[in-house]
Amino acid sequence: MTTQTRPAPPWQVDRWFNTSDAITLESLRGKVVVLEAFQMLCPGCVSHGLPQAARVHATFPDDQVAVIGLHTVFEHHDAMTPVSLQAFLREYRIGFPVGVDRPGTHGPIPQTMQAYAMRGTPTLTLIDAQGRIRHQHFGQVSDLVLGAQIAALVHEAQAGPRADGEQSRTVAGESCGPEGCALPA
């Protein structure tokens, strides 16, 4: 956990699913944003991260909370192409918008994932209504904690601006485990 609050970097996305238009962070200003970074072949993403994002999507009003998926492939790139992702989203009935993170130019880690300093998948990033990163969870976070963090940001958005924040990080696993897939150290 760090106490730093910083502007959320823009999303480098080449292709979107489940939306007719590209989505920018700016277009979501005024809403709390739940950004779920995942890989379709990451077991922890399939069993925990994505179902949780879907629950958030079903629980909170669309005009207050936006749930956005980000496909951040950092391994097995040939196995997780947009064609495979499209079938995956359909079979798993993922209904919220999902962007494909742009491949990195100097290594396996895609650009948005790197800009957000994510450590693996799944990573859930909470962005406030002013576009600032407020919480970041790698691995699992409980629904109680997540519900409370979202509500606090929604409440804050309705009450007015805030000066500083805090950034939490869940302890990382190692490589791909039941919790998720970690970037190489």
The reply to whether 150 sits near a copy of itself by the rule CB under 8 A is yes
Q: Is 19 in the site for a copy of itself (CB under 8 A)?
A: no
Among 113, 154, 125, CA closest to 67: 125
Piece of 14-22, 70-78, 103-111, 165-173 that binds a copy of itself (CB under 8 A):
70-78
Q: Which residue number, 70 or 141, has a Cβ lying nearer to a copy of itself?
A: 141
Burial 111-146 (b: 16+ CB within 10 A, else e): bbbbebebbbbbbbbbbbbbbbbbbbbbbbbeeeeb
Q: Where are the alpha helices (DSSP H) in 49-167?
A: 50-59, 82-91, 111-115, 143-159
Restricted to residues 128-147, the positions that interact with a copy of itself (CB under 8 A) are: 142-147
Residues 22-51 as x/- pattern, contact with a copy of itself by CB under 8 A: -------------------xxx--xx----
Instruction: Candidates 23, 115, 152, 172: give the one binding a copy of itself (CB under 8 A).
Output: 152
